[in-house]
Amino acid sequence: MIEVTNLVKDYGNHHAVKGISFTVGEGQIVGLLGPNGAGKSTTMNIMTGYISSTAGKVKIGEYDMFEQPLKAKKLIGYLPEMPPIYEEMTVEEYLNFVCSLKGIRKKKDRMENIAEVEEAVRITDVKGRLIKNLSKGYKQRVGLAQALIGNPPLLILDEPTVGLDPNQIIEIRALIKKLGEKHTIILSSHILSEVNAICDYVLIIDKGLLVAEDTPENLSEHFADKNRILLSVKGEKELIEQALEESEYIASYTVTGENEGVLDVTAETSVKEDVRDALFFEFADKKLPIVKMETETLSLEEVFLKLTGKEGEEEES
């Protein structure tokens, strides 16, 4: 459905995107993940033909965005970061205008299309109101409605849930999931749980580069090469540390806290299997009671931090 090859965008001396390539298959929901300023919006703006790239190609369906822009644009519904709404129009007028922009001429088709879209994003009850009087959440939905007009096979959504309240976020996510049954969707976000919940596939972008791409599960697994165990052990500090060093299952550990004779330790295990039973008996033999123990695999959040370099900075400081 989408083929992005070696995309580069320079603003003078500032390199916003430095060579991103990826492909998105039909029917996928892909999450574009990255910290603020990573180049997500720039990438999306190039993919939708709003701005041009300095180098590289974007192919939507069979059409090249730069050679056959009109045909390529017909396949896309785009919700930019700020919904592109005309405040002085009513919702109905606005959607009508979008219909005519997208070349839906017949009145009957328009009415049907608009009613369908309004139903889908639940704005039917505000359709007669001026957009400027709507709340942020409703404006966002009107923006989403605009992207859905004309039933384009590809939806590109730039941070679709920003500014919504928790209920609306859940609603919109459910809607996106449902849309994903019939559309190919690319959405950007810096909220990881969102991407985890909705997307089949994740692209992580940092400083204009694609740093990782995979399914959310694979990413967590791949980067969590060592299982982590959080331990709280009762006893004298020296004895516990000695036991940890002697243990064959623990590769390294850091002491994270100490109170009332209980030591909190984060340990990285040397093997992939669950070693909690073995550790329990080992410490029991040494009369060091483990009062709490849990395993932790890397969450997408940590993968993200790891990849975008935030963790490294923290450790250094």
Partner 1 sequence: MRAIYIKEMKSYFHSLSAYLFLALFLAISGVYFSVICMSYGYTDYAANIYSNITIIFIIIVPILTMRLMAEERKQKTDQLLLTSPVRVTGIILGKYLAVLTLLLGAVVITFLQAAVLSMYGDVNWLTVLTGGLGYFLVGASLLAIGLFISSITESQMIAAGISFGVVLLCMLLPNLSDIVPGRARYTYIVCGIVIVLLAWFFYEETKSWKAGVITMVLGAAVLGLFAWRTPELFDNGLSKIIDWFSIMDRFNDFCSGILNASSIIYYLSFIAVFIFLSIQTIEKRRWN
User: Which residues are near partner 1 by CB under 8 A?
Assistant: 11-12, 45, 48-52, 70-71, 73-74, 76, 78, 80, 82, 84-89, 93, 97-98, 100-103, 146
Give the tokens for residue 119: 């139903």
Q: Which is nearer to partner 1, 151 or 252 (CB)?
A: 151
Element (H, E) at 74: helix 69-74
Element (H, E) at 191: none
Decide if 81 contacts 41 (C-beta within 8 A). yes
Q: Which is nearer to partner 1, 96 or 308 (CB)?
A: 96
d(CA 315, CA 310) in angstroms, rounded, equals: 9
Give the residue among 162, 99, 158, 115 at the shortest CA–CA distance from 136: 162
**Cα–Cα separations (whole angstroms), residue 228 to 80, 225, 256, 265:** 39, 9, 13, 10
- In the complex, the smallest distance separating the C-beta of residue 169 from partner 1, rounded to whole angstroms, is 22
- In the complex, the smallest distance separating the C-beta of residue 274 from partner 1, rounded to whole angstroms, is 50
**Following DSSP, what letter does each residue of 3-53 receive, concatenated?**
EEEEEEEEETTEEEEEEEEEEE-TT-EEEEE--TTSSHHHHHHHHTTSS--
- In the complex, the smallest distance separating the C-beta of residue 305 from partner 1, rounded to whole angstroms, is 31
Q: Which is nearer to partner 1, 132 or 292 (CB)?
A: 132
Strand partners, 233: 263, 290
- In the complex, the smallest distance separating the C-beta of residue 175 from partner 1, rounded to whole angstroms, is 20
Q: Which is nearer to partner 1, 72 or 303 (CB)?
A: 72
Residue 35's φ and ψ, nearest 5 degrees, are -70, 170
Question: CA 182, 193, 38 angle in degrees (round to 5)?
Answer: 90
- In the complex, the smallest distance separating the C-beta of residue 165 from partner 1, rounded to whole angstroms, is 23
Q: Which is nearer to partner 1, 85 or 300 (CB)?
A: 85
Tell how far CA 77 is from the center of its chain: 19
- In the complex, the smallest distance separating the C-beta of residue 146 from partner 1, rounded to whole angstroms, is 7
Q: Which is nearer to partner 1, 34 or 80 (CB)?
A: 80
DSSP E strand boundaries for 61-200: 63-64, 76-79, 154-158, 184-189
- In the complex, the smallest distance separating the C-beta of residue 189 from partner 1, rounded to whole angstroms, is 19
Q: Which is nearer to partner 1, 99 or 243 (CB)?
A: 99
Neighbours of 314 (CB within 10 A): 9
